[in-house]
Structure 1
Amino acid sequence: MNILPFIFCGVPLSALPTGALFWQTHRILVVSDLHLGKSERIARRSGQMLPPYETTDTLGRLEDAINATDPTTVICLGDSFDDLEAGRTLSETHVAWVTRLMAGRRWIWIEGNHDPGPLEFGGTHLASFTQDQIVFRHIASESSEPEISGHYHPKAEIPLRGRLLSRPCFLFDERKLILPAFGTYTGGLRSSSPELSGLMSVQAKAILTGPSPCVVPMPR
C-alpha cells in the first residue's frame, strides 16, 4: 500500500490511498463519513433502489486500512451511519464485522450531523476529541486551534491530458485538515466550491487519493 507522509501543524501524518489518515506516533487511524447503510436509507426514504453492496465495500476497505497500520486507536469523524435507522438495520453480518474490527482497540465515534453516534455499538462517543492540542471534530470550525475534520467530502479536479481528473482528496493548510469521505456512495464537494475555498487558506494543499496519493496546490 502506497502511504504518503506529510506534515500538519508540525506533526508527521500519513495519508492512505483510501482516504484514511494514520498518526504513527500514537498509532491512531482516522476515517470520516463512512455513511454505512446508505443504500438502505435511500430505498427507505425515496424508493430508489441501489445495489446494496456499499457497506460491505466500505467495511472491507476499513479492514484493509486497519490491517495495514495496526492501530491501537480508531477515530471515526462522524456520519459513520447514514442515519440512525441505518445503524439499527445493519445486517447481523455487518454488525459482527464492525464488532470484530473494534475488538482490542480504543474506538472513538465522533458525533456527526447524520448521526449522534452509534450508541448500540461499544467504544467512546464524543462531540470532539483532542490529542496533542489537535482537535478531532466532524465539521471544521472558525477556531484558530489545529483541527482535523470531515463532513465536506472534498474532491479535487485537476487537468490531465486534456480532461479533468476528479478524485476524493484531503485538504490541509496551516491549521485545518479535512478528510475525504471514506464510505462508498458518498459523492463529494469540489475543492473549488465557495464553502471549501472560504474555509481554507491560500496556501492550502490537496492530497489526491488513489493508488499513488500525491500532493498538489488546492484546486480553486
Structure 2
Amino acid sequence: MSALPRPAYDFAVSACGGLRTTVAGVQVLMRASGALWLEASRVLIVADLHLEKGSAYAARGQMLPPYDTRETLGRLAAEAEALRPDAIVLLGDTFHDGRSEERLAADDAARLRALAQGRTLIWVVGNHDADGPRALPGEIADELVLAGLILRHEPQAGPQFSEVAGHLHPAARVTATRGTVRRRCFISDGERVILPAFGAYAGGLNVRDAAFAGMFIRPPLAGALGPHRVHAVGWRSLTGD
C-alpha cells in the first residue's frame, strides 16, 4: 500500500462518456459498458461475464431467456471493435460453472475464438471457473501484473495498492428527490478498483454491503453505469438497500 493517499480524486468524463481516472498512479478509463480500458497498454479488462448462467438455471428448472451469452459476447465484441485492444483480460468467472463451456452454442464459441484473433486473450480464473477454458484459445492465469497493476478475480481483504479485481459485482444505489436509482458500478479509492459484473445475467451487490468494509483507505468513489456514460458518485451520496 502507498505511504500516503492522494488528497483528492482525480477523474474526468471523456468524450466517449467514460470516466477517466487513476488507480495507483496508472491512468484507466471506466467505460459505460462496464469494461476497464488501459489505453497506454492497449488492454481491455472485463470481469464476471458468467457465460451460460441462463442455461445453468434452466437445467435446474428455472427457465430464463437463453440469450445471456449472446448478449454479453456481443457487447464485448463491440468494445473490442471500438478500441482495438492488443489484449483482452477476462477477470474471472467468465463461465458460470464448470460445464458452461460444454453448453456454449457453436456461434458463441466462434465469437470467443474471434476475440482471440490478432490479440492476446487472457483468462484469469475465478471461483466459478477455477480450471479455465479447455477448448478455447487464450492464456490461463491465477493473477497477473500488468502496467504496474495486479489483476486478480477476488479482491484481497484490507486496503490493497494497485489491485484490479472483480468478484463482488459492485452496484451503486442513489436516492434523490426524483426517486431511487440502482446501477452496476466501478468502485475505487484511487489505490485499487473493483469492476462491475459484465455479464447480462450477473447481479449486483450494493457497495454499502459489509463485504466491501475495510477495503478502502478513504471513502471510495463509485463510477455508476448509465446507458451512455459513467457517472461519478461520492460515497456520501450512496445508500444501502
TM-score, normalised with respect to structure 2: 0.87
- Secondary structure of 2:175 counterpart: strand
Q: Can you list the C-alpha shifts for 1:128-183, whole angstroms capped at 9, x where unaligned?
A: 01013310000111374411000000000012333210000000114220000000
- Equivalence for 2:86: 72
Gaps of 5+ in 2: 1-15
- Secondary structure of 1:159 counterpart: strand
User: Residue 125 in 1 paired to residue 140 in 2?
Assistant: yes
- Equivalence for 1:153: 169
Superposition misfits of 4+ residues, deviation over 6 angstroms: none
User: Residue 28 in 1 paired to residue 43 in 2?
Assistant: yes
Q: Can you list the C-alpha shifts for 1:53-82, whole angstroms capped at 9, x where unaligned?
A: 111110111011111111001000000000
Counterpart residue identity of residue 17, structure 2 = N
- Equivalence for 1:180: 196
- Equivalence for 2:232: 215
Counterpart residue identity of residue 37, structure 2 = F
Task: For residue 23 of structure 1, report the CA deviation from its aligned partner.
Answer: 0.3
Task: For residue 4 of structure 1, report the CA deviation from its aligned partner.
Answer: 2.0
Task: For residue 102 of structure 1, report the CA deviation from its aligned partner.
Answer: 1.3
Counterpart residue identity of residue 99, structure 2 = E
Q: Could you say if the C-alpha distance between residues 213 and 144 of structure 1 is closer, same or farther in structure 2, counting changes exceeding 3 Å? A: closer
CA distance in 2, matches of 1:122, 1:99: 6
CA distance in 1, matches of 2:188, 2:147: 18
- Equivalence for 1:84: 98
Q: Can you list the C-alpha shifts for 1:87-109, whole angstroms capped at 9, x where unaligned?
A: 12101111011111111111110
Equivalent of 1:100 in 114, 118, 127: 114
- Equivalence for 1:114: 128
- Equivalence for 1:42: 57
CA distance in 1, matches of 2:177, 2:67: 33
- Equivalence for 1:165: 181
Question: Which is worse superposed, 53-62 or 209-218?
Answer: 209-218
TM-align CA RMSD: 1.4
Is the 1:140–1:176 Cα contact (8 Å) retained in structure 2?
no
TM-score, normalised with respect to structure 1: 0.95
CA distance in 2, matches of 1:101, 1:182: 16
Task: For residue 199 of structure 1, report the CA deviation from its aligned partner.
Answer: 2.1
Is the 1:84–1:118 Cα contact (8 Å) retained in structure 2?
no
Equivalent of 1:52 in 42, 66, 76: 66
Task: For residue 11 of structure 1, report the CA deviation from its aligned partner.
Answer: 1.1
- Equivalence for 1:11: 26
Q: Can you list the C-alpha shifts for 1:164-210, whole angstroms capped at 9, x where unaligned?
A: 10000000114220000000011110011011133233331100112
Counterpart residue identity of residue 118, structure 2 = G
Gaps of 5+ in 1: none
